[in-house]
Amino acid sequence: MIALKIVYIANIIVAGWISITSMTSPKKAAETVFQYSYQPTEVMKLVGCLWFAITVLSILGLWRPISFSPILLVQLVYKGTWLLIVALPAIRNNQSYPTGMALFFLIWVLVLPFVIPWTEWTR
Tens-digit pLDDT profile for residues 36-65: 788 888 889 999 999 999 999 999 999 999
What percent of the chain is predicted at pLDDT more than 70? 100
Q: Which of 15-19, 56-60, 118-122 has the highest mean pLDDT?
A: 56-60
Give pTM, 2 decimals: 0.88
Hey, what's the torsion of the CAs at 113, 17, 25, 108, to 10 degrees?
Answer: -20
pLDDT band at residue 108 under the 50/70/90 scheme: very high
* Distance separating alpha carbons of residues 54 and 75, to the nearest angstrom: 8
Sign of CA dihedral 87, 73, 115, 62: positive
